[in-house]
Amino acid sequence: MSTKEERRQKVIEVLNKARSMELQAIHQYMNQHYNLDDMDYGELAAKMKLIAIDEMRHAEAFAERVKELGGEPTDHLSKPVAKGQKIDVIYRYDAGEEDDTIDVYNQFLLVCRENGDSISVKLLETIIDEEQAHFNYFDAVKDHIGNLGDTYLSRIAGTSSSTGLAPQGFVITGQD
Ligand code: FE
Ligand code: FE
């Protein structure tokens, strides 16, 4: 039987692995966001930006739980960012990434459960639901590009890249 401290360290380890995957996803999706914007696929760029923001919330949530457990949140990226992807590659790649993430997070959830941390189990359950929503979206766009090709993309070209969100940040919102 492992000690409480040993169990806690195992949970911190998987939460930090998850955080490093989120940090990589943030940078990956930001990279794709500005490339899609540059290609003038505004609607796709806007959704990609919103998904990058989701991943930032995930990275923060994992860090907050790591801190609660007395650990140090990692700033390590799980792998390098893939750059210069063509549009058909982007959506195949991202659907694969989300599918892998769901699988890995389910493994991490079991580690948290085995080590008696129900709070981290709940956190992972919530985040897995959101990764599923990301997968569903990426998979749908991937299918549209595969099935409709230029017919689909010509509808997207030139659309607005507005996210519909008021821009937020320390200076813009005037918080002090
Ligand atoms: Fe995420
Ligand atoms: Fe995701």
Q: What domains are defined for the chain?
A: 4-156 (1.20.1260.10)
pLDDT in the model for residue 176: 59
159 Cα to the center of ligand 1, angstroms: 26
DSSP letter (8 states) at residue 157: T
* Cβ neighbourhood burial of 132 (10 Å; 0-12, 13-18, 19+): middle
The whole-angstrom separation of Cα 142 and Cα 145 is 5
Amino acid sitting at position 155: R
Q: Quick one: how far is CA 55 from the chain centroid?
A: 3
pLDDT at position 173: 72
Q: How far is the CA of 151 from the centre of ligand 2 (A)?
A: 27
Q: What's the 124 CA to ligand 2 centre distance in angstroms?
A: 12
What local confidence, expressed as pLDDT, does residue 164 receive?
87
Model pLDDT, residue 167:
74
State how far the Cα of 48 lies from the Cα of 141, in Å rounded to an integer. Answer: 12
Q: What gap in Å lies between CA 143 and CA 132, rounded to an integer? A: 16
Model confidence pTM above 0.85: yes
pLDDT of residue 175: 60
Q: Which residues of the chain have pLDDT under 50?
A: none
* pLDDT in the model for residue 66: 98
